[in-house]
Structure 1
Amino acid sequence: MEEAMATPHALVIPIPGYSHIIPLMELSYMLAERGFKITFVNTELIHEQIMKALPDEYSNLKNPINLVSIPDGMGPGDDRNQIVRVLECMSSAMPSYLEELIEKMNKSSKDKITCIIADENMGWAVTVAKKMGIPQAAFSPTNACLRALVLRLPQLIEAGVLDANGKTLKQEMIQLSSTLPVIDTARLPWHCVDDPMLQQIMFQEALKNNQEVKDADWHLCNSFYEIEQSAYQLNPKLLPIGPLLAGSRQRQLVVNFWPEDSTCLNWLNQQPACSVIYVAFGSFAVLDQTQFHELALGLELTGHRFLWVVRPNLTDGQATTYPDGFQARVAARGSIISWAPQQKVLAHPSIACFLTHCGWNSTLEGLSMGVPFLCWPYIADQFLNQAYISDIWKVGLRLNSDDKGIISREEIKKKVEEVLGDEKIRERVLVLKEMAKKSVSEGGSSMKNLNDFVEAMKGK
């Protein structure tokens, strides 16, 4: 009798950041639904944080995803907010830990790893997979335009736009295609840190990473053809499989860094349709106290209802403080929580617009739920995402800072009124909502790419 084919077993490894973990977790669930066993690898610190945030009932659930951890190479007291240092330690220490984990799992014939799906920013994981003879996919959690830009770094150096260390020699606006956003060379991703030496390290890591992932068996990304078609002509191997959203599917494991406050959904149920401004800045953005107060007073000044996510480390002070009397004055029309079930919030009929830092996950979630945007980019690719939103798709507006670098309460009030009063914006975002839905439905472009990948991995 012919031996039954072994269950495909994917090892999935993201960068230790919330915005990187979320889409890979959703992809993991989609693979599990298609018969894969999943081992999801986080760093020890992130693993501990996720486990603490899980609801009590999680321990009683049977989950198709096995969460494991390996060390990140940093010491107990090291500052993991120093992203450059984190990346350096990871790339030097984690390959051996990953190889050791795979060897241990492969001792069991039924648990052998049959493919590795690694965040594209962890090229060393692709190198480990190749060394061990395991099929691999490099996954990009960002838009395809950014990936096209990073692939063209050598040409930018040759053209004299950048030097060999990533320093901008010519501040100019570049556009890879007439249908893609204009990119400011002063706001390239490695410029998110102020220290020139750290910028250089990040840039060199990007170049090194390009070489490590260029020959991966598969290149996947969390996007879809219809919103950036010309970007795929610049990325011929890249297959969009997004938007990767939980949507209506039930998930036993919802990954969070902080416990979700689902009471906000009951609060939203009591609000009129299209009446609430949803304000959330993701897991990483930080506001100083002056800007935080101005945002609070801006929300008050609008006169609109609002749901505001103020996570524990949103401000750069020891503790978040609100303007005097603010909370009492807005209590009847404002809800402030520490962490939200964001996809459920954005899908709620009471939401009128989304004031966001423009992370790519948040951008795709807003598009997929048909919600207009107010853009407040903070770091790295968020400025490119904002350009997509306001300049290419025209489904939102940018909040502009004053000559002191502050987004004023008056600017917030003005842009809220503009975005809520622009029916064309709402019409355009509803068109993109339908495109997103179609792409991940049977016969859609992203669904076809995902199914092709699944069949290839099952056949290995």
Structure 2
Amino acid sequence: MDQQLQRRRLVIFPCPLQGHINPMLQLVSILHSHSKGALSITIVHAQFNSPNPSNYPDFNFLSITDGLSQSEIESSTKDVSAFLTILNRKCVEPFRDCLVNKILSQKHEPPVACLISDATMHFTQLVADSLQLPRIVLRTSSPMSFVGFAAFPDLRQKGYVPVRESELEAPVPEIPHLKLKDLPVIKSYNSEVFFQLAADMTNQTKASSGLIVNTFESLDKLALELLNKTFAVPIFAVGPFHKFSSASSSSSLMTPDQTCISWLNKQAPSSVVYVSFGSIASISKAKLVEIAMGLVNSEQSFLLVLRSGFIIDKSDDDKDKNEESYLTKLLPQKLNEMIMRGRGCIVKWAPQQEVLAHPSIGVFWTHCGWNSTLEGICEGVPMLCWPCFGDQMVNARFVSQVWRVGYQLENGLQRGDIERSLKRLMVQENNKEREEMMVRVKDLKEMAELCQKEGGSSFQSLQNLMDYIFSRNSDLKIAN
């Protein structure tokens, strides 16, 4: 990229969910750093889950009214499809007004090169079109899951969807390696709301000027080939973002408990199971007991993340109780005894990248969100997968069956399955299966490192993306 080019502005609009905000801000930090001052960044964001501007002094932040009621905010974890649909409707006018009156009207600022927005925020394509503003889409979840989203209309027409109980194990002919039960369905009380959301995301991405994905070619070559056939727009695979980004600030919406690092420092190498199911997944008290007893019976040391709101069936009397004392009474005594003996640690939220890079971590028990999956791969940590919804099922299938760097709990949370899986992953003596898995995951870790060096696929894709951004039309006209 010619660094002598005239300065340009990027307008950014993230989806206000933890797993989407993180990669968007990582991407923005990468672009800003790589441009060496040639890009000015303006981040427009909803009021809900708004990022902290003080963590990113190099960027401009503009908040827009999202008009969300308390019940609609609560749906962000209970019915993600409904929440995203509401957000797409309510942000249209506030976002357009912000672009027209606070960004495009500024005559003494660098011209706007393009808008980069989350794929889930599909309404931004129509707003961008109305202002003749190029839009590039960021897909924060796995590329293969986006292939799945785009396939839903065809799968419904052929009768594969809705999936019948008797056909859960059947393969999906249109998507290699996936079973019907792996399709990336976002939880919703109304399936039609989800299918419409998937269609809107797909169609507005096809209408965009390009697509950015958080992956690297040697990991996701097949998915990238299918994306190219599906969307027919320029595609830029510049991941893993969290390794490329020079940003030191955290965009976490929850405060990580750093005390778990001092606890990890006291543990033997590769001796700890790190358990975290992300920022949205929630479970019943009974399932938490299965998790706990699986850990106890496996006889492995553990770091367990139990965030606020993780338990969904609290009684009214329990809701006002201190979280720590409530969990102590809820968890089996045997698990609490392990904690007392220094064999376990529980935190509300962990500094995940630092945890996964710690030498004491032997296994990552994860919901297989895409950020977590990439972070596990990049640190060479084998995974135990318990997917909940969306792209997590796709990711778990690839972790367990395609890349073969982990196992999946196929039958839900049952203490016997948990115990057996953890022993298969953790016990090192005379365990050829584990040895071969460690070779594969270390190979992927090395590939992730090589792709970002000069000459690597992600390095070149980032160069191409920068050139593409600076080639976008900057002679914008505001449509009234």
Which TM-score tier does this pair reach, normalised by the shorter chain? Answer: 0.7 to 0.9
Decide whether aligned partners of structure 1 residues 62 and 374 sit closer, same or farther in structure 2, where only a CA change above 3 A counts: closer
Q: Does 1:232 align with 2:224?
A: yes
Q: Which residue of 2 aligns with 1:96?
A: 93
Measured in 1, the distance between the counterparts of 2:418 and 2:163 equals 33
Displacement after TM superposition at 1:27 (Å): 0.3
Decide whether aligned partners of structure 1 residues 200 and 271 sit closer, same or farther in structure 2, where only a CA change above 3 A counts: same
Aligned pairs (5 A) from 1:226-305? 226-236=218-228, 237=233, 238-246=235-243, 251-305=247-301
Aligned-residue Cα RMSD (Å) equals 2.3
Look up the SS of the partner of 2:45 in the other structure.
strand
Q: Does 1:323 align with 2:332?
A: yes
Q: Which residue of 2 aligns with 1:220?
A: 212
70-79 vs 142-151, which moves further: 70-79
Q: Which residue of 2 aligns with 1:64?
A: 58
Alignment-mate amino acid for residue 407 of structure 2:
L
Decide whether aligned partners of structure 1 residues 256 and 108 sit closer, same or farther in structure 2, where only a CA change above 3 A counts: same
Measured in 1, the distance between the counterparts of 2:143 and 2:174 equals 11
Decide whether aligned partners of structure 1 residues 384 and 111 sit closer, same or farther in structure 2, where only a CA change above 3 A counts: same
Decide whether aligned partners of structure 1 residues 176 and 221 sit closer, same or farther in structure 2, where only a CA change above 3 A counts: same
Q: Does 1:84 align with 2:50?
A: no
Measured in 2, the distance between the counterparts of 1:228 and 1:390 equals 15
Measured in 1, the distance between the counterparts of 2:407 and 2:301 equals 19
Unmatched 5+ stretches in structure 1? 52-57
Q: What's the % identity of the aligned pairs? A: 29
Q: Which residue of 1 aligns with 2:478?
A: none
Measured in 2, the distance between the counterparts of 1:361 and 1:217 equals 24
* Bigger relative contact order, structure 1 or 2 (CA pairs below 8 A, ≥6 apart): 2
Q: Which residue of 2 aligns with 1:352?
A: 362
Q: 1:425 aligns with which of 437, 446, 458?
A: 437
Measured in 2, the distance between the counterparts of 1:183 and 1:95 equals 37
Displacement after TM superposition at 1:187 (Å): 4.8
Measured in 1, the distance between the counterparts of 2:306 and 2:137 equals 33
Decide whether aligned partners of structure 1 residues 116 and 133 sit closer, same or farther in structure 2, where only a CA change above 3 A counts: same
Measured in 2, the distance between the counterparts of 1:153 and 1:391 equals 23
1:51-88 C-alpha deviation (Å, 9 max, x unpaired): 4xxxxxx85x7721333322333224433333233222
Measured in 2, the distance between the counterparts of 1:150 and 1:378 equals 16
CA contact (8 A) 2:8 2:112 kept: yes
Measured in 2, the distance between the counterparts of 1:113 and 1:71 equals 22
Q: Which residue of 1 aligns with 2:103?
A: 105
267-276 vs 144-153, which moves further: 144-153
Measured in 2, the distance between the counterparts of 1:354 and 1:73 equals 38
Decide whether aligned partners of structure 1 residues 210 and 153 sit closer, same or farther in structure 2, where only a CA change above 3 A counts: same
Decide whether aligned partners of structure 1 residues 296 and 383 sit closer, same or farther in structure 2, where only a CA change above 3 A counts: same
Measured in 2, the distance between the counterparts of 1:223 and 1:424 equals 24
Displacement after TM superposition at 1:112 (Å): 4.8
Displacement after TM superposition at 1:5 (Å): 5.5
Unmatched 5+ stretches in structure 2? 473-480
Normalized against structure 2, the TM-score is what?
A: 0.84
CA contact (8 A) 1:277 1:353 kept: yes
Q: Which residue of 2 aligns with 1:54?
A: none
Q: Across the two proteins, how many residue pairs are aligned to each other?
A: 434
251-260 vs 362-371, which moves further: 251-260
Displacement after TM superposition at 1:391 (Å): 0.5
CA contact (8 A) 2:452 2:459 kept: yes
Normalized against structure 1, the TM-score is what?
A: 0.88
131-140 vs 327-336, which moves further: 327-336
Measured in 2, the distance between the counterparts of 1:339 and 1:296 equals 17
CA contact (8 A) 1:105 1:111 kept: no
Decide whether aligned partners of structure 1 residues 68 and 335 sit closer, same or farther in structure 2, where only a CA change above 3 A counts: farther
Measured in 2, the distance between the counterparts of 1:322 and 1:336 equals 11
